[in-house]
Structure 1
Amino acid sequence: MIIVMKAGATKKERDEVLKRIRELGYKPHVIHGSTRDVIGAIGDERGKAVLQKVESMHGVENVLPILQPYKLASKELKKEASLVRVNDQVCIGGQQLIVMAGPCSVESEEQIIESAIAVKAAGAQMLRGGAFKPRTSPYSFQGMEEEGLKLLAKAREVTGLPFVTEVINPETAELVAEYSDMLQIGARNAQNFALLKKVGQLKRPVLLKRGMSMTIQEFLMSAEYIMSEGNQSVILCERGIRTFETATRNTLDLSAIPVLKGKTHLPVVIDPSHGTGNHHYVAPMCYAAVAAGADGLMVEVHPDPENASSDGAQSLKPVKFAAMMEKLKLFAAAAGRTL
């Protein structure tokens, strides 16, 4: 349910409402608006009628049901677009288009630092790189793990770029959070509910990738798992879904951008590298994603993709990435964004 406070309601009145919501067995989530506060009361759907009693309390304007199954992620609770801040350096969801770029996997100190310097020079605001890699084959490169996190931290020290990296299980989530600026939940873990709950308890923004066979509603319900644990800093990432098409690695669902924008206040980022699996298609899909309203892009860039440990075929060389970023400025301007 949504409890809408009156304009000018006092802090004491709001605190009394919060206390009553908890007494009724629900968890309150306060959204501070420009003129009034809105409180989302989240809990067991079966007994939500008892929350109607809150409407008689001082400072309450009205109590409304949230119709969507995803409560905290829904635009019914928060109509304005959410801004997710990363270390007070980067703001995702605002006018500026945010680009996260770097290699699929951290392979060496030289490789990750060279990549970080190159993507920063081209205009990227964040570094991406995998230290823990969930792979389809148990014989494939699984990542450098904590050593990879240390190298990402060193690249951040050299360039000043905050970085996002993947967390693959609840047991290592706190370790990854110690080093990283933003946590990534990959497509294979998008419905790993134990992991979603764990990152929801950590004080790091979360980039949640859409599972390869997930519907939009399932995607938003996964975001709800994170938010219900107290972490409201969630970014949604469309990275392609599995279809019958074999010309590309996945089918990049750009229609998900306007659909998500109509359903949720959370920022939406596009990963055209995994979405297509081919470096030739990455730049066109970046341009199209910006035109469709994406808040950011996640692009794989590698100084030597021919010898990459993973996903070399979809990685741009630094010179190609720089050229794409120059052209991207035109698309960003046409969409009313800055880069």
Structure 2
Amino acid sequence: MIIEVDKSASGQDLHAIRQTIEGAGYTSHLDRGDEVTLVGVHGRAIPESLEDAIRKLPGVMKILRITDSYKEVSRKFHPSNTVITLENGAKIGAGELTLMVGPCGVENYSLVLETAYWAKEAGAQVLRGGAFKPRTGPYSTQGMGEAGLEILARVKQETGLPIITEILIPQDENVSVGQVIAMFERYGMDIYQVGARSAQVGGLLHALSKRNHPVLYKNGLGMTAEEFLNGAEYLLSGAWGDDGSDGGGNPNVMLCVRGTAGETTVSRFPLDLNWIPYLRKKAHLPIIADPSHSSGKWWMVVDSSLAAIAAGAGGLEIEVHPDPKIAKSDDKQAIGLEQLMEIATVGREIFNARKALKPDYRMTNHYVDRPA
């Protein structure tokens, strides 16, 4: 439920509204937007008696019940864009193009370090690299494991770049998800990536919901956009069960569109660019695009990247390798330095040009189909 509050309401009025909500056993969320002040109500089904009591309080203008199954993710509930701040102060979703670049898989220290310096030259904010690699077939390289995390940690210390790397459910039945997360924490990984094959693994999503650590959440291979948003709700709500009350979730979540399984003659995982404006309208989370996996071909990555930015993506996650021809994984979709610099330069021009567009019918005026 969302409560629209008069912009002139006093702090005492807001306190009374939130006290009424929390006194009934619910939690509340305050969002002071440019256009309106909202108080969101979290928890199980809200009785009409509580709604009536809230409606009578000073400052309450309107009460709206959210019909979307994803309430924490919904922009209706949280009109302001979420901004995620990393350990080094870098911000994602703050109005600048975010670039996360690096090799598909960690191969050795010198390769990752060289790529990191490329990333810095291009102005990228985050270095990507896979230490644990879930692959389509069992005979493909599965990554270096903990040794790969150690290399990423060393490169982070050398260059100062934050690290994004994929986190998986442990393959060893004697190792818990909590122990895997603790290992990633020990090596100082800055963003945990939930990949397409883990997008609906409830145990992993629930474990990550209990930490405020940044998470990049990718859509699953066969997910619809609505299923994707509901998957993100696991992370943001921390809920597990019918009543939806499990003590809060993780607010530091990014959505990453990487295409879905489909016709593959042209591209590897076709990406419908309409997902990007749709997700921006529906959710308040940063939207990142993955042109490497969606295209599957290195020579498509530049154009796919620029198209995603034009569609409204706030950032890109791209596979970059010093010598793509010899990359141990995903060599056909890895790009080199020249292509990276082109994306960084032209991509920022497109991103900045988009700022001139009026955003009102894209991300505000949520309660009507069209602007007046």
TM-score (norm. length: structure 1): 0.90
Distance in 2 of aligned mates of 1:74 and 1:251 = 25
Structure-2 separation of matches of 1:36 and 1:331: 30
Q: Does 2:237 correspond to 1:228?
A: yes
Please say which of residues 64-73 and 169-178 is displaced more in the overlay. 169-178
Range with greater deviation from structure 2 (255-264 or 25-34)? 25-34
Q: How far apart, in 1, do the equivalents of 2:12 and 2:132 lie? A: 47
Secondary structure (helix, strand or coil) at the match of 1:284 reads helix
Gaps of 5+ in 1: none
Give the drift of 1:239. 0.3
Deviation at 1:32, TM superposition (A): 4.1
Aligned 8 A contact 1:97 1:295 in 2: yes
Which residue among 307, 311, 315 is the counterpart of 1:288?
307
1:294-329 CA-to-partner distances (Å, cap 9, x unmatched) read: 100110001122222211111112233223323334
C-alpha contact (below 8 Å) 2:217/2:255 kept by paired residues: yes
Structure 1 residue 268 displacement after superposition: 0.8
CA displacement 1:17-42 (0-9 Å, x = unmatched)? 44543453434333344687533222
Q: Which position in structure 1 is the counterpart of 2:102?
A: 102
Give the match for residue 150 of structure 1. 150
Matches within 5 A, 1:187-202: 187-202=196-211
Deviation at 1:64, TM superposition (A): 1.9
Match of 1:175 among 175, 183, 194: 183
Q: Deviation of residue 115 (structure 1)?
A: 0.9
> In structure 2, what is the equivalent of residue 242 of structure 1?
261
Residues of 2 paired with 1:133 and 1:37: CA distance? 44
Query: Pairwise mapping of residues 122-161 of structure 1 onto structure 2 (< 5 A)?
Result: 122-161=122-161
Stretch deviating more after TM superposition (28-37 or 289-298): 28-37
Secondary structure at the residue paired with 1:220? Answer: helix
Among 275, 280, 287, which residue is 1:268 paired with?
287
Q: Distance in 2 between matches of 1:310 and 1:49?
A: 56
Q: Distance in 2 between matches of 1:20 and 1:288?
A: 47
Larger mean CA deviation between 226-235 and 24-33 belongs to 24-33
- Of 300, 311, 330 in structure 1, the residue corresponding to residue 330 of structure 2 is 311
Question: What is the letter of the counterpart of residue 90 of structure 1?
Answer: A
Say whether 1:89 aligns with 2:98: no
1:306·1:312 contact (CA, 8 Å) conserved in 2? yes
CA drift at 1:285: 0.5
Q: More displaced, 136-145 or 198-207?
A: 136-145
1:49 paired to 2:36 = no
Name the counterpart of 2:30.
30
- SS, match of residue 183 in structure 2: helix
2:213 is aligned with what amino acid?
Answer: R
In the TM superposition, what is the alpha-carbon distance from 1:44 to its structure 2 partner? 2.6
RMSD: 2.3
Q: 1:246 to 1:23 in 2, by over 3 A?
A: farther
Number of corresponding residues: 336
Offset of residue 113 of structure 1: 0.8
- Percent identical among aligned pairs is 38
Q: 1:216 aligned to 2:225?
A: yes
